Chains A and B, each alone.
Chain A
Amino acid sequence: MTVLAELTGNIGTVAYGLAAIGPGIGVGIVFAAYIQATARQPESAALTRTYLFLGFALSEALAILGFVVPFIIT
């Protein structure tokens, strides 16, 4: 069977690129929700700021995992 295409090098970089898709969209959704909520009701900004940071960190954690796992599995 002939090899049609071949990719050599570090697959960890490809892995991080793929891993960053979901959290990128997720973090965008979290901040979009916060901006919309604050635009509709500015007094709620302080109330929802906790959930903003919480949601950001939880989504970002998966992207960070994608960055770090190739370093650990060497």
Chain B
Amino acid sequence: MSASVILASECPPDDPGFCAPSVLEFFPKPLATFDLFGAHFAITRITVILWIATAVMVWFFIAATRNMQLIPGRRQYFAESGYSLVRDGVAREVIGTEGLRFAPYLASLFFFILINNIMGIIPFAQIPPTGRFAFPVVLAAISYILFNWVGIRQQGLGPYFKNNLFPAGVPKLLYVLITPIEFASTFIFRPFTLAVRLFANMLAGHLLLAIFAAGTVYLFTVGNFSVIFGPVSFAMTVIMTFFELLVQVLQAYVFVVLTSTYIAGAMEEAH
């Protein structure tokens, strides 16, 4: 279903060659547009997928914790296991006992990224909203502000920057070299790579799946000897779908682990 929608929207209709899906996949036709305070908004099918996915995830956790019993039922057990994965497996492991304060944020972050990543392989949706650059940027910005805020509040404004930009145990002369590198690494590259890692993984995965799927359709319908490569393309689609599932879960996990690592690094007093 998605392949025909893609080909219809971007390719010239009378071109006999293969029309490969491009990044224009992530810029579908808007379903509704409106202007608010001078900013232009467009509701596309990606926005709707994001809303539905987030609503499902929020509904699941609310429904699971509604009448909590001491002996959990199935839904409560799954919700508690999922929350414990982040709270104990990540927050407490990486940050320590102080990390339990951040477990709600980290769990929300993990499950939001996870459900929106998985939309990349769910039928009828098949596009991860986290492949639009804005969403990882906002998530990375929140994490960036959080770990800096935590560090400044814990250590004070001056000592926080001193500990980050002038690490201890370095000969004074090397500070000319080390300080710009540390500044760029902590305050510029960290949020940037957090956002770009998630975005690029989702974009690349979606493009791979789209190219293999569209290629399967093309090879089977083009009518010449290329049809023998059709099953190869189909097999690759199936294999890449499973691989994409692994990558999607992994990228959500890595985003949360890195956020908590940055928080842990900001909270410790001295290196």
Binding partners A and B:
yes
Q: Which residues of A contact B204 (CB under 8 A)?
A: 64, 67-68
* A57 B197 Cβ-Cβ under 8 A: yes
B148 proximal to A (CB < 8 A): no
* B200 A61 Cβ-Cβ under 8 A: yes
* B258 A74 Cβ-Cβ under 8 A: no
A65 proximal to B (CB < 8 A): yes
How many pairs of A and B residues are in contact by the CB < 8 Å rule?
Answer: 43
Q: Which residues of A contact B93 (CB under 8 A)?
A: 50
* A57 B251 Cβ-Cβ under 8 A: yes
* A71 B250 Cβ-Cβ under 8 A: no
Known A64-B204, A71-B23; contact A57-B196, beta-carbon cutoff 8 A: no
* B254 A53 Cβ-Cβ under 8 A: yes
A37 proximal to B (CB < 8 A): no
* B254 A57 Cβ-Cβ under 8 A: yes
User: What separation, in Å, do the CA atoms of A53 and B197 have in the docked complex?
Assistant: 14
User: What separation, in Å, do the CA atoms of A71 and B202 have in the docked complex?
Assistant: 13
On chain A, which size bracket covers the interface? 10 to 19
User: What separation, in Å, do the CA atoms of A60 and B198 have in the docked complex?
Assistant: 11
User: What separation, in Å, do the CA atoms of A71 and B196 have in the docked complex?
Assistant: 14
* A74 B196 Cβ-Cβ under 8 A: no
Name the residue of chain A whose CB is nearest to the CB of B197: A61
Q: Contact flags (1/0) for B228-269 with A, using CB distance below 8 Å?
A: 000000000000000000000011011001100100000000
* A64 B200 Cβ-Cβ under 8 A: yes
B47 proximal to A (CB < 8 A): no
Residue of A50, A53, A64, A72 contacting most chain B CB atoms (<10 Å): A64
User: What separation, in Å, do the CA atoms of A67 and B199 have in the docked complex?
Assistant: 12
* B257 A61 Cβ-Cβ under 8 A: no
Known A50-B93, A53-B253, A71-B22; contact A61-B193, beta-carbon cutoff 8 A: yes
Contact of B200 among A53, A54, A56, A68 (CB under 8 A): A68
User: What separation, in Å, do the CA atoms of A74 and B254 have in the docked complex?
Assistant: 29
Known A53-B250, A61-B200; contact A74-B257, beta-carbon cutoff 8 A: no
Known A64-B197, A64-B201; contact A71-B207, beta-carbon cutoff 8 A: yes
Q: Which residues of A contact B253 (CB under 8 A)?
A: 53
B50 proximal to A (CB < 8 A): no
Closest 3 CB pairs of A and B: A57-B254, A61-B197, A68-B200
